[in-house]
Structure 1
């Protein structure tokens, strides 16, 4: 391996991955400390309120609860199936006797030898495998929530007897399922960006940089938007009413 062929891959690709990782660490910190400044924090409070309202009005809302959870499970299933298909395609390329690097030798910046191609495809394959893993775990939790949310009298004297189940437990399971689904989606986005690595590390760096900017605009509430401010206020009121 010559350094003049690998220096772009060694510098730009890890830098892009660190950029994505640092953004999500910052996002996680903001969700924990200032939840109402992020859409993830606002939606999390809203989901807890929704679970409690579905349990309280179980006789009237049971069909709505199951259909809503089914739609979320279908979305996670679609993403998991897509990851499996991409993994199968990448595995087929890796096991193929055809050398795909031949038509790309003159068009790719950075390393493009046999070892480089193997590293690229194995990295992308690993990302999609982990994305499938998190989506499958999310489906498991959401299926359990679909059962528990329809248990009658869930919060009636939960401390009596040997069986204790509260709406808070169901909310925690629901949040875990949504969290795993979100992690799977973000890994899928990262794997999609890394697929451009086949054509060189420069495209990966710029794609991740653009994706971080797009995700920032989608994940955070803008301070100068009156509608977003009103939604934050309404969510805070609903959360305080739920806690009281």
Structure 2
């Protein structure tokens, strides 16, 4: 009977994570090929126009630019703090000898041996560590952008609008990756209650992400606004 429980974990957990991986690979291709069909692509174009406007009229909009980037950094800081806080809690659970898992695991599907329990927590820990890393790097790029966005562009200066835009885009891209890794920790967390919840939660998240990532507005109107 135990091998059947392990079989559920070996099949359902990779299947649920595979759904998330395939969706984000499709989203990456969509953003690369048809950015105006995605919210991420439209926001990226909008940020480029915003940076150009901020640096063009720097004397009047420098405070607005810094405050906007500061608010973004506060969001990344919150997510990084939350990720490392959860990592600390998981590390404490892994190193603790106190166990309350037996009454719970007797009532759920899937394997719940000592190795499987450690695998669940370690997988969750690794995902949260990478989420913390992405948010930390995002803060670094956004912090540099706060300084350089107030530089008046000139012909003999290496700090151009394109350079600042590229710097901020890296920060926002890392912020997005960090958020998606943080959200991917939810199916792994639900894995502690059984592998069936991993598949259900992954499919639910894919549907939610699709509605949040795809632009359903009239593309002609969007193209006119971006141009």
Task: Give the shorter-chain TM-score range.
Answer: over 0.9
Q: Is the 8 A contact 2:135 2:174 kept in 1?
A: yes
Runs of 4+ in 1 over 6 A off after TM superposition: none
**Match runs of 1:89-168 below 5 Å:** 89-152=89-152, 154=153, 156-158=154-156, 164-168=158-162
In the alignment, the residues of structure 2 paired with residue 15 and residue 94 of structure 1 have an alpha-carbon distance, to the nearest angstrom, of 26
Mark the runs of 5 or more structure 2 residues left unpaired by the alignment.
none
Q: CA deviation at 1:203?
A: 0.5
Q: CA deviation at 1:232?
A: 4.1
* 1:233 and 2:224 correspond: yes
Question: Residue in 2 aligned with 1:10?
Answer: 10
Relative to structure 1, is the Cα distance of residues 211 and 232 closer, same or farther in structure 2, using a 3 angstrom cutoff?
Answer: farther
Q: Is the 8 A contact 1:5 1:111 kept in 2?
A: yes
TM-score computed with the length of structure 1 as normaliser: 0.90
CA-to-aligned-CA distance 1:101-148 (integer Å, 9 cap, x gap):
212132221011111100000000000000000000000000000000
Question: Residue in 2 aligned with 1:185?
Answer: 179
Question: Residue in 2 aligned with 1:242?
Answer: none
Q: CA deviation at 1:51?
A: 0.5
Question: Residue in 1 aligned with 2:188?
Answer: 194
Relative to structure 1, is the Cα distance of residues 216 and 98 closer, same or farther in structure 2, using a 3 angstrom cutoff?
Answer: same
Instruction: Give the total of aligned pairs.
Output: 227
| Structural RMSD (CA) | 1.4
CA-to-aligned-CA distance 1:40-65 (integer Å, 9 cap, x gap):
01000000010111000100000000
TM-score computed with the length of structure 2 as normaliser: 0.96
In the alignment, the residues of structure 2 paired with residue 221 and residue 131 of structure 1 have an alpha-carbon distance, to the nearest angstrom, of 26
* 1:30 and 2:30 correspond: yes
